[in-house]
Amino acid sequence: MRAIFAILFSVLSIFSVDASPQDTLKTVPKDSVLITSFTQNRHLSSIPTPLISTGTLKLWPQKGLIWATEHSFPSTLIISKSGLYQIENGQPKVLEKATQSDMVFKILSAILAGNFLKGLEGFDITLVSQDKSQWHVKLAPQNSQIKNFITAFSIQGHEQIQRITICRANGDYDDIVFTNHKIAPLKKALSSQELRWLND
């Protein structure tokens, strides 16, 4: 999963009853960073059991995303405006640009920042269910380039995004659960090295 491609979304549904993303979802304030733990279950048709990874995510809206996997294969990915990087020996190494993974990570960034319902283009948005404690929406891509590898994003949450399922065209899917959400001031959330990674 990786990202550098600008994707815009459009809202084609109006939410009303009980809790909805419009009513409850908090956006990340300017000069703040969202920090959250994640557990990712990757379901591949060629493998009988899901591949499980856990780690920490740091999102600085409009600047970039640090996706640090701690288990089972430690790695750190940096997604910024300048591209996609993997950290090796403390230094960012360019991986690739404008790929499928780039687009997925860019979309994830917008979702986690709480911006995916704000007049952006590229997806049909359907309210699947809602109650006072949680809502569930589905994003279906309109863009044929995205449809070739992603059929839908399923998103559940309340004040924060709690779960995202990425459904792929080949039948595989990723189920990502986010916990321990915290919004922190920029200077407290990111080290000087992390600031450098996202500003380069």
Residue 104 has phi, psi (to 5 degrees) of -60, -45
pTM for this one? 0.82
Residue-level pLDDT at 67: 94
Residue-level pLDDT at 124: 87
| pLDDT tens per residue across span 147-200 | 888 999 999 999 899 999 999 999 999 999 999 999 999 989 999 999 999 987
Decide if pLDDT at 10 tops 50.
no
| pLDDT tens per residue across span 86-142 | 999 888 888 765 466 667 777 888 888 886 776 456 888 888 887 777 899 999 988
* Burial of residue 109, with CB atoms counted within 10 A of its CB: 0-12 exposed, 13-18 middle, 19 or more buried: buried
Q: Which of 19-33, 45-59, 84-98, 112-126 has the lowest mean pLDDT?
A: 112-126
Tell me the C-alpha distance between 53 and 51, whole Å.
7
Contact 163, 156 (CB under 8 A): yes
Decide if pLDDT at 16 tops 70.
no
